[in-house]
Amino acid sequence: MSTSETYRIEYDNSALGSEAAAYIFFTVGLVFIAFLSRSDIITSIAWISLALMTAYVAVKALLKLIFQVRKAIVIISPKGIKDARLGSDFIPWDDIEKIDVPAPRRSLGKMLGIILLGFCLLVVAIILSEGGVIPVEALDWSRPDHHVWLLLAPGRRVMGQLRSSKHLVRQVTGDMQHVCIAVSDLAYQKLELLELIVKFHARYKKAEKTEVVA
């Protein structure tokens, strides 16, 4: 694994296909349940709302599969690291303070909303799979092995950031930013990507050695 080369990491098409198929299955199942519950308008609307959410995720996966096949999503080079989902510019290695830091905490209101939504989707998924087809642990989309969080040095920012990537960049105390590199849809596993980032960071960061936080 040479640190003098440029690595272009694409989406994992098989993972995206499986994700799209799973959410299409969820959507069809939820619509069917909504149809069976049509005598109760409130219940039917609730099921349809969940179906719209799963349909949205399915469409996003299909769009990635159709329009971003063989497109470099994450680029790692001597210049820095670039995630096309974050913005148009590289993050220089000197801007990165720490690698694989714990995910920053969300506000209490957002946490309660996420917990409530996650609980509803979890219950629906378990009902649809009868507790056996879909393992519960597969429904946790915030697992640590799905993300690599980078902590930028004080005053450093992600340049050329896209509006749609606000949830991937979080401001923390001390004028520092947390930057999330999502791994779940990529052709690289987290450990492979992390090893690559650490090696490049250790070689090209001028001031300090790489610090990896477990």
> What average pLDDT does the chain have?
79
DSSP sequence for the chain: --SSS-EEE-B-HHHHHHHHHHHHHHHHHHHHHHHHTTTSHHHHHHHHHHHHHHHHHHHHHHHHHHHSTT--SEEEETTEEEETTTBSS-B-GGGEEEESPPPPPPPHHHHHHHHHHHHHHHHHHHHHHTTTSS-GGGG-TT-GGGEEEEEEPTT---TTB-GGGGGGEEEETTTEEEEEEE-TTBSS-HHHHHHHHHHHHHHH-SSS---B--
Q: What pLDDT shows up at residue 75?
A: 94
Residue percentage of the chain with pLDDT more than 90: 19
**Cα–Cα distance measured from residue 128 to residue 134, given in angstroms and rounded to the nearest whole number:** 9
**pLDDT tens digits for 129-182?**
443 334 333 444 456 678 888 989 888 888 878 877 877 888 876 778 888 898
Highest mean pLDDT among 47-56, 108-117, 127-136: 47-56
**pLDDT tens digits for 19-37?**
889 999 999 998 998 888 8
**pLDDT tens digits for 192-201?**
999 999 999 9
**Tokens 């080079």, residue located:** 77
**pLDDT tens digits for 200-210?**
999 998 754 44
Q: How far apart are the first and last CA of the chain?
A: 22
**pLDDT tens digits for 118-135?**
666 656 555 544 433 343
Indicate the SS3 state at residue 118.
helix
